[in-house]
Chains A and B, each alone.
Chain A
């Protein structure tokens, strides 16, 4: 009955696959950089209280706008708060955004895409029209509209970003589902009397999962930039939260005299979004058989 092929190594198959992918990524210096930055981000977020040198919310009005050095690695802001510590705690916000957007967008995109792809016909047409409508806006503009209506806050920004970033995932899942729809094992399941819901959830979705996960990674660079943009416009995280985009927005008033207020949060956003882009680039190579053969 058990027809599953046992992997040759002792590690479970998914972990083995992950290990292979990581090994492939480490061969390229740019992907290694991406992995390194993301590992740093996770470590910073996990051990923020240990890494931070000051309390990120503690104001010190005697020491406002201090230049880097002098006990403050990256200087202090207009309320005398330590910028380095705020950046470290900001990593938690960034990770929260990434995590929440992923767990909302992944399932929505997957359900809509696989249902449309498997059922085809009118359901497909209607669902893909809806997807196209969402795709006809740049993600930042549509997020802006949602946040404007919902009211500015970090949670609403996350909801807005999630609402606008599922369409590419749905598109991808649909394309994948359409290739599996005609497969023999699906016909077999149908002949045995499995319902459409069962087939979609049990047979089609697991097959679409890997490519959806990769696509999510690729999208994270955009998600981070959109979140930072919303924060910058004052529509995302609200003060005193140390969100990087919001930090740049407050630092803007002082930028000509105190460059460090905007420079360091900006470098943080840039590094993380660059890391996701480089990693996504590497992942595409790692998982695209066409690319591998060409080498």
Chain B
């Protein structure tokens, strides 16, 4: 049996004013997104952007930022997906409290997050000694950067996982059970593949939020010293670097470094979109696991 071609969709005839209104409103927003970027790119001459992209200090900051945000995403995979699953599948007392707690990092100003973590992990505090003893000193290390990033960005994965797991039809899971699959097999072969697309979208948001974080990092890890998985020079995240350049009055370099970051971020997101279009990303077909 062949699927008949879809009839041409009937389109409402809309007046030119309606179209103009749509263009003006959405165009205004797009301009707001575009103009600051344009300003950044034009402030610094291309040669300077190119030169800064090769600058070892900028490279160290870039590497630290992407590496730390990658670790934050990894932490979200390990900790946030299970929490999302718990919220989606179990009902328990105090659930509303947990849900509010998950939403909290999204609304709290991130400078406050940094201050809170600072008081918790101030050198000499019990938790500082504990984490240091474990090999995770957080004050002015990459672990501090990761900690802040996880705090502010993991909720996006928790929420996405919660929604995605919830959207999986329970009767589909029951059918799988009755066909002979144990709970773990059902999760691996049915639940997770069906929820994966939404979860990956959440991880993408988590990464975006982590990589753009500055508030909490300013307090907890303003300068990052080598140690742990990071063995480069003394540096800071890219956003802190730009902040420093700007504070020091080095506007051209601030603009140039920002441009480098923007270019990389834009290319990355463009590649992801392209991947979704072409269908090579596993969650498009929906079958990553055997």
A binds B: no
